[in-house]
Structures are given as structure tokens and as C-alpha cells.
Structure 1
Amino acid sequence: MAEFGFNEHHQNEVINYMRFARSKRGLRVKTIDSCFEELKESRLVEETFTVDEVREMLDGLQAVVRGEVETELINTAHTNVLLIRQLFSQAEKFYLRLQTDISELENRELLEQVAEFEKTDFKSNDKIHQEASKPKLAPLNEGGVSELLHKEITRLQEENGKLKARLRTLETQAMSALDERTRAERALIDIQKVQGEHQVADQSQEVSTLEDTVASLKEDYQRSLSANVASQKDLQQNLMSSKHDLLRVQEQLTLAEKELEKKFQETSAYRNMKDMLTKKNEQIKDIRKRLQRYEPNE
């Protein structure tokens, strides 16, 4: 696909879509083949047929095959619309306006290049894809509200970790100050025993300074602790709000899936398949009646 000017990422996207289209095409061909096989097994049970019987069988087969082909063409057109919708939606996020050239869709040279790619390069890429590990499916609307909520939760957790680290640092400083005060008090007692009252007065002033320093550190520690508690409460509230938003989005996605399933049951493809099954059941009942009439013992 290098002659089309695609980079590696876009080439992989094209390969994924061609793989999807090929699988859908293969399923539809198998369905058409099964229609012919079913006709052979259910209707071609006699040695001779009249012209009317042959015409009836061919008309029925034509209706079934026509319905299958029409359904596949409609589904392919709708699938292409959804693919174009994804591309346009991504472009509009960056304020771009994409344009399409319908005449290029019938360019024989480009169509032959695509066919050649599917026969050669696509097969080699298909083998590499089968050997590699399959990626997990991403949730619907991954780039929307759900991703923003995950990012916000991650940011809040990182901020909470930083606040906890700062709190531990302040606690270490406070403990160091207390230890220093204890050592100073012990040193003061030793100095009082060895030296005179003058030296004790100087040491008392130093101890008083240390006490003031410790008191200041305690005040800073209490203020930081209060601020950390308030920050943790805000973080917990934001986290709960984010979780509620995530649950609400998941519920909306579930409702959307149910709505899509309901719409699928109302599509023409579903109704055509149901009508086809009803006609086939009626044909089988008619064949059984004819068999009982000609061969009652069996």
C-alpha cells in the first residue's frame, strides 16, 4: 500500500477494514451456497420435473439469492457510512473539513491496485497478524468521558501521593526537632553539673531558642497536617464524583446497546430472513404432505 502514500498506522487500519470486509463477504457467499445446497437436498428428489416445477424452483431460489445479495449490498453501504462517520468525527475535533471524490471510487487503476494488494501484501500481513497476539477490544467511546475520568482519577491519586510524601517529610522534621531538643536538654544538665551558673544561663538561653524553634515547627506541622486533611477530603469527594460519572456513562452505553439491538430486529434484513424461514417451513410441510400422499406406508 506504499504506492497510496499511507504511513504504517493508516496501512494497518486499511488492512483491518479489508480483513473485516473479507470475513463478511465470505459469510455471505457461504449463505448463498447453502441456499443452493438446500434446494438440491429438499427439491431435487425426483428424476423428472415439469417445466412449471423447474420454473417454480428457480423463482424461489432467485428470490432467496436476490434477498441475500441485496441485504449484503445494503449492509456494505451502511458500514461504509459508519466508517466515513468515524473519520469525519475525528477530523471535526481538529476543525478540519474533509472532502471526498466519488469519481475515484470507479478508478479502475486504483481498484486493480487494491485487488493486487489483497492478493499479495495483504496475505503476508494477514499471516503476521495471526501469529501476533490479538489486541484486546477497547470499550465503546474510549476517547470520550470515560478516558477523561480515568485521567482525572490518576491525577488525583498522584497528587494524593505527593501530599502523603510531604506529610511524611514534615513528620520526620518534627521528630528530628524533638530529638534535638532532648539532646539539648541532656547536654544542659551535664553542663550544669560541670560548669557554673553563668554557663548555665547561656545554655538556658540556647535551650529557650531551641524551644521556640520546636514550637514554631510544631505550629507549621499542625497547619500542614490540617491542610493535608482538607486536601484528602477534597480528593475523596472528587474521586467519588468521578466514579459516579463513570457509572452513569456505563449505564448510558448499556442503554445504547439495547437500543441498537432493538433497531436491528426492526431492520429489513431481519424481516427478510424471518420471511424466508417461514416460506421454507411451508415448503417442507407441502413436501411432507406430497410424500404421505404418494407413499403412505413410509
Structure 2
Amino acid sequence: MAAFGFNEHHQSEVINYMRFARSKRVLRLKTIDSCFEELKESRLVDETFTVDEVREMLDGLQTVVRGEVEMELINTAHTNVLLLRQLFSQAEKFYLRLQSDISELENRELVEQVAEFEKSDFKTTNKTNQDGGKIKLAPLNEGGVSELLNKEIARLQEENDKLKARLRTIESQAMSAIDEKTKAERALKDLQKVQGEERVCAQTKEISSLENTVATLREDYEKCLSTNASSQRDLQENLISSKHELLRVQEQLALAEKELEKKFQQTAAYRNMKEILTKKNEQIKEIRKRLQRYEPDE
């Protein structure tokens, strides 16, 4: 077994596992033997058997043996997984990463070496674990795995230092960002305050301008009202005086007409015209009387 490069402790662990595997194998072989013995005792009681009976017995035996072998193979695979679990758990405690080469499991030369070890060294080795408890790994020496472990620790320490430096850098950047944010908030508040004051000042100026405009408009309106009132009074006075003047003129016209009619009546033409009209009226009356005489009214 020295060809595999195991130390004494690991060689002892391999021997213990091989003993366990052999005990399970022997137990399963005994089970298979009992299946054959049971068949012999229960079925092989007659001297002659037909072909169908032999086939039936062999099929039943095949089923039983197949089940036993399959169960043993499955159990062996599961126990191997549990063994690997123990090894990997112990390796992870020392930050080690174990690797396996599945192709080596079919290496005939190595398989034959294991078989040779089982036939020779395994039988002559009587080292057993008297404690009956879990076997712990032996302390690592200064070379080999210990060196790898120290390198891994140094790498982790270096990575930890880098992370700490990066953390300090990030903290300083975060503090700078917080300071800048605080300054920006203060500047924003100051700007809002200034803008608010400017806005209030602008609104005050605008209100004052509007008040002045309203006052000017009110004065203009009052002036217009007073002007309109005075104009209206003037118009009323002018209208009254105009009415008086009109009445006076009408009266003068009436007097002038009467005077003119009086003067016209005193003229010879008027008297002649009046006489002619009087005569004509008398003639018309006379003619009417004649007409009434000849054509009386019905």
C-alpha cells in the first residue's frame, strides 16, 4: 500500500474502511447463499422437473438475487458518499479543497494493487482503533499541506487588508459625499431664501405699481365725473337759455305776424280782394238758393 503514498494513519483508515466493506460484502453473500439454499429446500424435492418448472424456479431465483445485489450496490454507493462527506467536512475546516478524478476509479492497475493489498497486507495488519470514537486528522507537519494552509491564510489576510483599505476609501468618499450634500442643501436653502425675498420684493413693487395705477385711474375718473357734471350743468343752462330765447323769438314772430297781418289788411289790394270774395260768396249763396228751388232736397 506504500505505492499509494499514504502515511501510517491514512493507511489505518483505509484498512478500517476495507474491513467495513468486506463485512457488508460477506453479509450480502450469505444472504444470496441463503436464497439458493431456500430454493433447494423448498422446490428441489422431486426427482424430475419440467422445463417450465425449472424456468420458473430460475426466474424467481434471478429476481431475488438481482434485488439483493442491487440493494448492496446502492448501499455501497451511499456509504461511499457518507465517507466522502466526512473527508470533505474535515478538509473544509482547514480551508482545503479536495479534488477527485473519477477516471482513476476504473484504472485496472490501481484496482489490482488494492486487491493485492487486501490479500496480503490487509490480512497481516492487526492495527485497530481501540477508542471506538471518531478518528480525527493528525496534526499537519510544517511542509506540504501546512505550507498551503499558510499561503491560504496569507492570501486571506491580504485580501482582508485590501477590503479594509477599500472600506476606508469608501467611507471617506461617503463622508465627502455627505459634506457635499450638506453644502448643496445649504446653498439650496439660501437660494430659495434669496429667491423668496426677491419674489416678495417684486410682488411688493408690482402691488405698489398697481395701486398707483388704480389711484391715477380713480383721479381721472373723478375728474371726468366732475367735468361731465360741469358740462351737464352748462348744457342745462344753455338749454334753458335757448328755450327762453326760442320763446322770445316765437313771441316776436307772433307779434310780427300780427303786425304784418294788420298792415296787410290796411292795404287796398286786401280790401279789393275782400270785396271780391264777399261778392263771390253772395253769388254762391244765390246760386245755391236757385238750385234748391229747382232741385229740392229729398
TM-score (norm 2): 0.44
Higher relative contact order (CA 8 A, sep 6+): 1
